[in-house]
């Protein structure tokens, strides 16, 4: 994949009630990434998310009810396997991920199975404070050790998966709270995949509120540590990459 023909890239946007911000994001992707496939996974939205996505002419998966990001992404990975894509890039539908960063992330996949677009303090105007920041620090520290490489932003939803990771995640992608970010990394590393990160700048959401509020921070830390602890003690044979799926 490092040389020769370019990999087929699929951008997956898990969208839950994102009808407001979706058109802008899709237009940006069409502008900056004309080559890639685009899949919107409508995660049981009650607004016009599905209609908005269809009118933009991209592929849409309509989940009959809300599964959370993990379920939406697993559906996306299964679609990617069935359609023969080499790379899946997860991009948030709320506009905080800049599509112009996608090529840089995909490039890095040449030497890793999973690449995380990490929000750095010196890039963009993304900032977190208080207990949530400590939680992210702790998680980053532990996961860096697990992955054997320095990771600073393990809860970022801006990430790319190569062919091996796609095959793994099409079968094993955790749907639990925070499973899509933290546990998925543990599963990947345990299955022998490599993780790398690329610094990206983040923007403010173009619509909608951030899903984390300060008073939830302590609870978030607790659940994150629980999720991490459990996935680290899980038996290895539960998450062996499955053989090739029938397309």
Nearest distance from residue 45's CB to another protein, in Å? 7
- 112/180 with CB nearer another protein: 180
Nearest distance from residue 17's CB to another protein, in Å? 8
Residues sharing a CB contact under 8 Å with residue 58, sequence separation 6 or more, in sequence order: 26, 38, 39, 40
d(CA 105, CA 229): 28
Nearest distance from residue 75's CB to another protein, in Å? 4
- 111/212 with CB nearer another protein: 212
d(CA 87, CA 84): 9
Alpha helices in 124-180 (DSSP H): 130-147, 163-171
Decide if 11 contacts 103 (C-beta within 8 A).
Answer: no
End-to-end CA distance of the chain: 21
Nearest distance from residue 54's CB to another protein, in Å? 8
- Of how many residues is the chain composed? 247
d(CA 38, CA 132): 32
Q: Which residue has the tokens 């998680």?
A: 139
- 28/62 with CB nearer another protein: 62
Residue 131, φ and ψ in degrees, nearest 5: -55, -35
In whole angstroms, how far apart are CA 59 and each of 47, 81, 115, 206? 18, 15, 24, 22
Nearest distance from residue 222's CB to another protein, in Å? 14
- 112/116 with CB nearer another protein: 116
- 47/104 with CB nearer another protein: 47
Binding site for another protein (CB under 8 A): 16-17, 41-46, 50, 54, 59-69, 71, 74-75, 78-79, 82, 175, 177, 211-212
Decide if 28 contacts 94 (C-beta within 8 A).
Answer: no
- 42/191 with CB nearer another protein: 42
Nearest of 96, 106, 122 to residue 11 by alpha carbon? 106
The tokens for 100 are: 């112009």
Nearest distance from residue 227's CB to another protein, in Å? 12
Nearest distance from residue 157's CB to another protein, in Å? 8
- 71/163 with CB nearer another protein: 71
């Amino acid at each position: 994949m490092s040389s020769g023909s370019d990999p087929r890239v699929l951008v997956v946007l898990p969208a839950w009630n994102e009808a407001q911000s979706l058109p802008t994001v899709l237009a940006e992707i069409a502008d900056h990434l004309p080559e890639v496939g685009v899949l919107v996974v409508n995660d049981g939205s009650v607004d016009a998310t599905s209609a908005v996505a269809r009118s933009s002419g991209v592929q849409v998966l309509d989940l009959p009810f809300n599964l959370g990001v993990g379920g939406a992404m697993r559906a996306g990975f299964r679609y990617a396997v069935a359609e023969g894509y080499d790379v899946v890039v997860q991009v948030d539908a709320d506009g905080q991920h800049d599509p112009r960063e996608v090529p840089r992330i995909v490039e890095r996949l040449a030497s890793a199975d999973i690449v995380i677009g990490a929000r750095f303090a010196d890039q963009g105007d993304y900032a977190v404070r208080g207990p949530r920041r400590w939680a992210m620090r702790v998680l980053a520290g532990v996961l860096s050790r697990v992955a054997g490489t320095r990771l600073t932003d393990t809860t970022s939803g801006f990430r790319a998966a190569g062919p091996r990771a796609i095959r793994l995640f099409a079968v094993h992608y955790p749907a639990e709270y925070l499973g899509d970010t933290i546990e998925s990394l543990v599963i990947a590393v345990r299955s022998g995949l490599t993780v790398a990160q690329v610094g990206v700048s983040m923007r403010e959401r173009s619509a909608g509120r951030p899903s984390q509020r300060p008073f939830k921070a302590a609870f978030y830390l607790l659940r994150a540590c629980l999720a991490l602890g459990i996935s680290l003690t899980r038996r290895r044979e539960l998450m062996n990459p499955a053989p090739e799926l029938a397309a």
